[in-house]
Amino acid sequence: MAENLLTLEKICKAYNLGTAAQAEVLHDIDLTICKGDFLALIGPSGSGKSTLLNIVGLLDRPTSGRLTIKGNHTSELDDAALTRLRGHSIGFVFQYHYLISAFTALENVMMPMLVDQHFPTKEAEDHAMELLRQVGLTAVADNPAMNMSGGQQQRVAIARALTMNPDLVLADEPTGNLDTKSANVVFELMRDVNRQNGTTFLIVTHNMELARRCDRIIEVVDGRIHTDSTEILAMSSSLAKQALSHKGPRHGE
Ligand code: ADP
Ligand code: MG
Protein backbone atom coordinates (compact mmCIF):
# COMPACT_ATOMS: atom_id res chain seq x y z
CA MET A 1 0.00 0.00 0.00
CA ALA A 2 1.46 3.37 -1.05
CA GLU A 3 2.26 5.83 1.73
CA ASN A 4 0.32 9.14 1.91
CA LEU A 5 2.33 12.22 1.09
CA LEU A 6 -0.43 14.77 1.37
CA THR A 7 -4.13 15.01 1.96
CA LEU A 8 -6.62 17.74 1.17
CA GLU A 9 -9.89 17.63 3.09
CA LYS A 10 -12.74 19.91 2.11
CA ILE A 11 -10.34 22.59 0.84
CA CYS A 12 -12.07 25.83 -0.19
CA LYS A 13 -10.50 28.98 -1.54
CA ALA A 14 -12.09 32.38 -2.01
CA TYR A 15 -10.19 35.40 -3.28
CA ASN A 16 -10.96 38.93 -2.05
CA LEU A 17 -12.85 37.51 0.91
CA GLY A 18 -15.42 39.86 2.42
CA THR A 19 -15.28 42.35 -0.45
CA ALA A 20 -17.62 42.99 -3.37
CA ALA A 21 -15.07 41.20 -5.56
CA GLN A 22 -15.19 37.95 -3.51
CA ALA A 23 -14.69 34.95 -5.79
CA GLU A 24 -15.15 31.37 -4.63
CA VAL A 25 -12.61 29.45 -6.68
CA LEU A 26 -12.20 26.05 -5.01
CA HIS A 27 -15.05 24.12 -3.41
CA ASP A 28 -14.65 21.19 -1.02
CA ILE A 29 -11.62 19.60 -2.65
CA ASP A 30 -10.83 16.16 -1.22
CA LEU A 31 -7.68 14.59 -2.57
CA THR A 32 -4.98 12.23 -1.39
CA ILE A 33 -1.61 12.03 -3.11
CA CYS A 34 0.74 9.16 -2.32
CA LYS A 35 4.52 9.02 -2.38
CA GLY A 36 5.80 8.30 -5.86
CA ASP A 37 2.57 9.33 -7.63
CA PHE A 38 2.92 10.83 -11.11
CA LEU A 39 -0.24 12.83 -11.66
CA ALA A 40 -1.69 15.07 -14.33
CA LEU A 41 -4.03 17.89 -13.32
CA ILE A 42 -6.21 18.96 -16.22
CA GLY A 43 -9.22 21.22 -16.68
CA PRO A 44 -10.38 24.33 -18.54
CA SER A 45 -8.62 27.64 -18.12
CA GLY A 46 -9.86 29.43 -14.99
CA SER A 47 -11.06 26.20 -13.33
CA GLY A 48 -8.71 26.63 -10.35
CA LYS A 49 -5.70 24.44 -11.22
CA SER A 50 -3.04 27.05 -10.38
CA THR A 51 -4.93 28.04 -7.23
CA LEU A 52 -4.91 24.40 -6.15
CA LEU A 53 -1.20 24.08 -6.92
CA ASN A 54 -0.41 27.24 -4.94
CA ILE A 55 -2.27 25.86 -1.92
CA VAL A 56 -0.60 22.44 -2.13
CA GLY A 57 2.75 24.25 -2.58
CA LEU A 58 2.16 26.33 0.57
CA LEU A 59 2.39 29.56 -1.46
CA ASP A 60 -1.18 30.43 -0.45
CA ARG A 61 -3.47 29.35 2.36
CA PRO A 62 -6.92 27.85 1.85
CA THR A 63 -9.94 29.76 3.15
CA SER A 64 -11.12 26.60 4.90
CA GLY A 65 -10.44 22.89 4.97
CA ARG A 66 -7.42 20.89 6.03
CA LEU A 67 -4.16 20.33 4.18
CA THR A 68 -1.79 17.76 5.66
CA ILE A 69 1.71 17.33 4.23
CA LYS A 70 3.98 14.58 5.57
CA GLY A 71 1.82 14.39 8.70
CA ASN A 72 1.96 18.18 9.32
CA HIS A 73 -1.40 19.92 9.66
CA THR A 74 -0.42 23.04 7.76
CA SER A 75 -3.05 25.31 9.35
CA GLU A 76 -1.21 24.87 12.64
CA LEU A 77 2.12 26.10 11.22
CA ASP A 78 3.25 29.73 11.24
CA ASP A 79 4.77 31.33 8.15
CA ALA A 80 8.36 30.45 9.12
CA ALA A 81 7.46 26.79 9.63
CA LEU A 82 5.54 26.74 6.32
CA THR A 83 8.57 28.22 4.54
CA ARG A 84 10.81 25.52 6.05
CA LEU A 85 8.38 22.73 5.10
CA ARG A 86 8.08 24.14 1.58
CA GLY A 87 11.84 24.58 1.17
CA HIS A 88 12.62 21.01 2.13
CA SER A 89 9.64 19.19 0.66
CA ILE A 90 8.46 20.95 -2.48
CA GLY A 91 10.05 21.97 -5.77
CA PHE A 92 8.36 24.19 -8.37
CA VAL A 93 8.48 24.28 -12.14
CA PHE A 94 6.43 26.95 -13.90
CA GLN A 95 5.40 27.53 -17.50
CA TYR A 96 7.92 30.35 -17.67
CA HIS A 97 11.21 29.08 -16.23
CA TYR A 98 12.08 32.13 -14.03
CA LEU A 99 15.80 31.53 -14.40
CA ILE A 100 18.15 34.45 -13.91
CA SER A 101 19.05 34.97 -17.56
CA ALA A 102 22.54 36.41 -17.09
CA PHE A 103 23.53 33.54 -14.75
CA THR A 104 24.86 30.26 -16.08
CA ALA A 105 22.87 27.03 -15.86
CA LEU A 106 25.15 25.93 -13.02
CA GLU A 107 24.67 29.18 -11.06
CA ASN A 108 20.90 28.98 -11.49
CA VAL A 109 20.81 25.45 -10.11
CA MET A 110 23.14 26.36 -7.23
CA MET A 111 20.97 29.32 -6.22
CA PRO A 112 18.47 27.59 -3.86
CA MET A 113 21.35 25.85 -2.07
CA LEU A 114 23.27 29.10 -1.59
CA VAL A 115 20.13 30.83 -0.32
CA ASP A 116 19.65 27.97 2.16
CA GLN A 117 23.12 28.75 3.56
CA HIS A 118 23.66 25.24 4.90
CA PHE A 119 25.56 24.31 1.77
CA PRO A 120 29.21 25.23 1.38
CA THR A 121 29.74 26.61 -2.15
CA LYS A 122 31.81 23.61 -3.31
CA GLU A 123 29.16 21.14 -2.16
CA ALA A 124 26.43 23.19 -3.86
CA GLU A 125 28.45 23.23 -7.07
CA ASP A 126 29.04 19.47 -7.03
CA HIS A 127 25.37 18.78 -6.35
CA ALA A 128 24.27 21.22 -9.08
CA MET A 129 26.63 19.54 -11.58
CA GLU A 130 25.19 16.13 -10.66
CA LEU A 131 21.65 17.45 -11.25
CA LEU A 132 22.67 19.00 -14.57
CA ARG A 133 24.07 15.60 -15.52
CA GLN A 134 20.72 14.03 -14.63
CA VAL A 135 18.89 16.46 -16.93
CA GLY A 136 21.47 15.94 -19.69
CA LEU A 137 23.00 19.42 -19.62
CA THR A 138 26.57 18.90 -18.38
CA ALA A 139 27.98 20.27 -21.65
CA VAL A 140 26.18 23.62 -21.31
CA ALA A 141 26.59 24.08 -17.53
CA ASP A 142 28.61 27.28 -18.04
CA ASN A 143 26.30 28.84 -20.65
CA PRO A 144 24.18 31.79 -19.54
CA ALA A 145 20.51 30.82 -19.33
CA MET A 146 19.58 33.46 -21.92
CA ASN A 147 21.65 31.64 -24.56
CA MET A 148 19.76 28.38 -24.10
CA SER A 149 16.75 27.02 -25.97
CA GLY A 150 13.35 26.98 -24.27
CA GLY A 151 13.60 23.22 -23.71
CA GLN A 152 17.07 23.52 -22.17
CA GLN A 153 15.91 26.36 -19.91
CA GLN A 154 13.04 24.23 -18.68
CA ARG A 155 15.45 21.34 -17.99
CA VAL A 156 17.59 23.74 -15.92
CA ALA A 157 14.41 24.77 -14.07
CA ILE A 158 13.72 21.09 -13.33
CA ALA A 159 17.28 20.60 -12.03
CA ARG A 160 16.81 23.69 -9.85
CA ALA A 161 13.49 22.32 -8.52
CA LEU A 162 15.31 19.15 -7.45
CA THR A 163 18.18 20.78 -5.51
CA MET A 164 16.72 20.29 -2.05
CA ASN A 165 15.69 16.72 -2.91
CA PRO A 166 11.96 17.47 -2.60
CA ASP A 167 9.31 14.84 -1.95
CA LEU A 168 6.99 16.62 -4.36
CA VAL A 169 7.46 18.64 -7.55
CA LEU A 170 4.59 20.89 -8.60
CA ALA A 171 4.74 21.77 -12.28
CA ASP A 172 2.30 24.36 -13.66
CA GLU A 173 2.07 23.89 -17.44
CA PRO A 174 5.80 23.11 -17.65
CA THR A 175 5.63 22.28 -21.35
CA GLY A 176 3.13 25.02 -22.26
CA ASN A 177 5.73 27.17 -24.04
CA LEU A 178 7.58 24.35 -25.77
CA ASP A 179 7.39 22.72 -29.18
CA THR A 180 6.23 19.10 -29.29
CA LYS A 181 9.72 17.60 -29.33
CA SER A 182 11.07 19.69 -26.42
CA ALA A 183 7.82 19.11 -24.50
CA ASN A 184 8.37 15.39 -24.88
CA VAL A 185 11.98 15.60 -23.64
CA VAL A 186 10.94 17.67 -20.60
CA PHE A 187 8.04 15.32 -19.81
CA GLU A 188 10.22 12.20 -20.11
CA LEU A 189 12.80 13.83 -17.87
CA MET A 190 10.20 14.32 -15.14
CA ARG A 191 9.07 10.73 -15.62
CA ASP A 192 12.69 9.50 -15.24
CA VAL A 193 13.18 11.52 -12.05
CA ASN A 194 9.91 10.08 -10.74
CA ARG A 195 11.06 6.52 -11.47
CA GLN A 196 14.66 6.91 -10.35
CA ASN A 197 14.29 9.12 -7.26
CA GLY A 198 10.70 8.22 -6.33
CA THR A 199 9.85 11.96 -6.46
CA THR A 200 6.12 12.66 -6.60
CA PHE A 201 4.94 14.90 -9.46
CA LEU A 202 1.75 16.90 -9.88
CA ILE A 203 1.74 18.33 -13.39
CA VAL A 204 -0.80 20.81 -14.73
CA THR A 205 -1.11 20.33 -18.47
CA HIS A 206 -3.42 21.04 -21.38
CA ASN A 207 -1.65 18.38 -23.40
CA MET A 208 -3.89 15.30 -23.26
CA GLU A 209 -1.28 13.16 -24.98
CA LEU A 210 1.11 13.83 -22.06
CA ALA A 211 -1.66 13.58 -19.45
CA ARG A 212 -2.51 10.09 -20.67
CA ARG A 213 1.08 9.03 -20.02
CA CYS A 214 0.72 9.91 -16.31
CA ASP A 215 -0.36 7.30 -13.75
CA ARG A 216 -3.38 9.27 -12.68
CA ILE A 217 -5.42 12.10 -14.20
CA ILE A 218 -7.39 14.53 -12.05
CA GLU A 219 -9.78 16.84 -13.85
CA VAL A 220 -10.86 20.08 -12.19
CA VAL A 221 -13.96 21.87 -13.48
CA ASP A 222 -15.31 25.04 -11.86
CA GLY A 223 -13.21 24.52 -8.73
CA ARG A 224 -14.33 20.95 -8.10
CA ILE A 225 -12.74 17.61 -8.84
CA HIS A 226 -14.80 16.46 -11.77
CA THR A 227 -13.04 13.16 -12.44
CA ASP A 228 -10.20 11.22 -10.86
CA SER A 229 -8.93 8.35 -12.96
CA THR A 230 -8.10 6.34 -9.81
CA GLU A 231 -11.76 6.41 -8.80
CA ILE A 232 -12.85 5.49 -12.29
CA LEU A 233 -10.46 2.52 -12.25
CA ALA A 234 -11.61 1.50 -8.76
CA MET A 235 -15.24 1.85 -9.85
CA SER A 236 -14.76 -0.09 -13.03
CA SER A 237 -12.95 -2.88 -11.21
CA SER A 238 -15.69 -3.07 -8.56
CA LEU A 239 -18.31 -3.03 -11.33
CA ALA A 240 -16.39 -5.82 -13.05
CA LYS A 241 -16.29 -7.79 -9.78
CA GLN A 242 -20.02 -7.22 -9.28
CA ALA A 243 -20.71 -8.33 -12.81
CA LEU A 244 -18.63 -11.46 -12.25
CA SER A 245 -20.26 -12.28 -8.88
CA HIS A 246 -23.75 -11.89 -10.38
CA LYS A 247 -22.93 -14.20 -13.23
CA GLY A 248 -24.76 -17.40 -12.42
CA PRO A 249 -23.78 -20.82 -13.73
CA ARG A 250 -24.29 -21.14 -17.42
CA HIS A 251 -26.93 -23.49 -18.75
CA GLY A 252 -25.65 -26.99 -19.08
CA GLU A 253 -22.95 -26.52 -16.43
P1 ADP B 1 -6.40 27.84 -13.90
O2 ADP B 1 -4.99 27.69 -13.42
O3 ADP B 1 -7.18 26.57 -13.93
O4 ADP B 1 -6.47 28.56 -15.21
P5 ADP B 1 -6.65 29.76 -11.70
O6 ADP B 1 -6.45 28.98 -10.45
O7 ADP B 1 -5.52 30.59 -12.17
O8 ADP B 1 -7.18 28.78 -12.85
O9 ADP B 1 -7.88 30.72 -11.52
C10 ADP B 1 -9.15 30.27 -11.06
C11 ADP B 1 -10.07 31.48 -10.90
O12 ADP B 1 -9.59 32.29 -9.83
C13 ADP B 1 -10.15 32.37 -12.12
O14 ADP B 1 -11.47 32.83 -12.26
C15 ADP B 1 -9.22 33.51 -11.78
O16 ADP B 1 -9.62 34.68 -12.41
C17 ADP B 1 -9.37 33.61 -10.27
N18 ADP B 1 -8.14 34.09 -9.60
C19 ADP B 1 -6.92 33.52 -9.66
N20 ADP B 1 -6.03 34.19 -8.91
C21 ADP B 1 -6.71 35.23 -8.36
C22 ADP B 1 -6.37 36.29 -7.47
N23 ADP B 1 -5.13 36.40 -6.99
N24 ADP B 1 -7.34 37.15 -7.12
C25 ADP B 1 -8.60 37.02 -7.58
N26 ADP B 1 -9.01 36.05 -8.41
C27 ADP B 1 -8.09 35.15 -8.79
MG1 MG C 1 -3.17 28.17 -14.33
Interatomic CA distance for residues 208 and 199, integer angstroms: 22
Q: What local confidence, expressed as pLDDT, does residue 233 receive?
A: 67
Question: What is the whole-number distance in angstroms between the Cα of residue 143 and the centre of ligand 1?
Answer: 36
Domain ranges of the chain: 36-61+86-231
DSSP string, 7-30: EEEEEEEEESTTSTT-EEEEEEEE
Strands 64-69 vs 216-221: parallel, antiparallel or unpaired: unpaired
- Which helix (DSSP H) or strand (DSSP E) does residue 114 occupy? helix 105-116
Nearest ligand, CA of residue 16? 1
pLDDT tens digits, one per residue of 123-146? 999 999 999 999 999 999 999 999
Q: What local confidence, expressed as pLDDT, does residue 23 receive?
A: 95
Ligand 1: list residues with CB < 6 Å: 15-16, 23, 25, 43, 45-51
Nearest ligand, CA of residue 52? 1
At the fourth CATH level, which superfamily is domain 36-61+86-231? P-loop containing nucleotide triphosphate hydrolases (3.40.50.300)
214: DSSP letter: S
pLDDT below 50 — which residues of the chain?
252-253
Question: What is the whole-number distance in angstroms between the Cα of residue 95 and the centre of ligand 2?
Answer: 9
Atom of ligand 1 nearest to the CA of 172: 2
Residue nearest atom 14 of ligand 1, based on CA coordinates: 46
Instruction: Let me know how long the chain is.
Output: 253
